[in-house]
Amino acid sequence: MKNIQNENVVDRIIRFLVAAGTAIAALYSHGAARNLWIVVVAIALISSLSGFSLFYWLIGIKTLRERK
């Protein structure tokens, strides 16, 4: 199976840092706000670890350079 990635390393690091910062915000939130932060953390963390962004795929962009 082909590995589909559309994020470069810098993009993945930024998403991981956003996930970490958002996780800290989730610790200090309550109720519906906490649930929203947890969803944002999950999306950013999965995206940073896999290298695939569904949003990038939907709009048709890649930040990852193709190797020749």
Asked whether the predicted pLDDT for residue 44 surpasses 70, the reply is yes
CA 29 remoteness from chain centre = 21
**Which of 1-5, 13-17, 31-35 bottoms out in mean pLDDT, i.e. has the lowest?**
1-5
> What's residue 3's pLDDT?
66
Nearest by Cα to 20 from 45, 55, 43, 39 = 45
- pTM of the complete model: 0.78
